[in-house]
Structure 1
């Protein structure tokens, strides 16, 4: 644990992976920048149609409409909820959503990506 004490800032998309860095004596503050979930899904759809260099590239998406994508099993629903409650493969429940909201409320300073400048001011 002592090797983590020198880190002033840690940037990660996987909060659980950084958990061992924090203890009662070595606490951290969590900041998160969230995107609107519908905008994230729309962007994911178009990105995965063309990102041939990514493992998530799916050439079949080029023949799908956005509506078909949203109804398909190719969409990762509730990405933020799944990340916060460590639920990757099973269905997300209302209790999971409530727990994720509570985690965000108690543990994070939340910024909104569409309001980036205002969020940065909030973080300061």
Structure 2
């Protein structure tokens, strides 16, 4: 279900209707939601958002050294971020593209931004990478995961517990930071201006959803009494 052909295959096989999968991971949330689910078989979408400039900077440095990746780019080592930002790229406004259902080859515009915002507002439990612990607390509530169970508690501690100073963060890629307002930041933000707007909207939804998510736990407590 990561890409469109897999989603189409899952639909033909009746994956959602079979109730054999508790979680579905995909890079095509709009397409997956449209193809896999129906009024009798609904789901909840949970998504973790990262500042678009931070994501691109991480990608720039990661693919310079990631020899194991199919998209390894050793030639980027000889480029500055500003030079890299000027290259043609299908990765521009990645979040708007994915949430509006556009393909990489298709341009995106303000209308797609509106569609992406509505998709977030109506369908997504929003998480932020800068608020990982709180985000996964909400995801657990939305999925009705009991974090007091031993296996679940160990999982939470492994990812969010106290770590040794040199142990690092899972799936992290250490690289120089780009400061907001710098030439590098401005170059990437200009090319991904729709994603910048969408990310600001996601931050707003993150704040607005807290009360809604917390009401789930209050309601659950009342039902248990």
Shared fold (TM-score greater than 0.5)? Answer: yes
Equivalent runs, 1:1-124 vs 2, <5 Å: 1=14, 4-15=18-29, 16-17=31-32, 19-74=34-89, 76-87=91-102, 88-123=104-139, 124=141
Q: Name the CA shift for 1:97/1:30 in 2 (closer, same or farther; >3 Å).
A: same
Alignment coverage as a number of residue pairs? 124
Distance 1:59 1:8 in 2: 39
Structure 2 distance, partners of 1:27, 1:60, is 45
1:20 Cα deviation after fit? 3.5
Counterpart CA distance in 1 for 2:59 and 2:33 is: 25
Q: Deviations over 1:68-98 (max 9, x none)?
A: 1122114611111111222211221011111
Q: Which runs of 5+ in 1 are unaligned?
A: none
How far off is 1:13 after superposition?
2.5
Q: Partner of 1:31: helix, strand, or coil?
A: strand
Higher relative contact order (CA 8 A, sep 6+): 1
Q: Which runs of 4+ in 1 moved over 6 A?
A: none
Q: Partners of 1:67 and 1:38 in 2: how far apart?
A: 12
Displacement of 1:37 = 0.5
Instruction: Give secondary structure in 1 for the equivalent of 2:106.
Output: coil
More helix by share: 2
Offset at 1:100?
Answer: 0.6
d(CA) in 1 for partners of 2:127 and 2:61? 24
Q: Secondary structure at the match of 1:92?
A: coil
TM-score of the pair, normalised by structure 2: 0.51
Alpha-carbon RMSD across the aligned residues, in angstroms, is 1.8
> TM-score scaled to structure 1, two decimals?
0.88
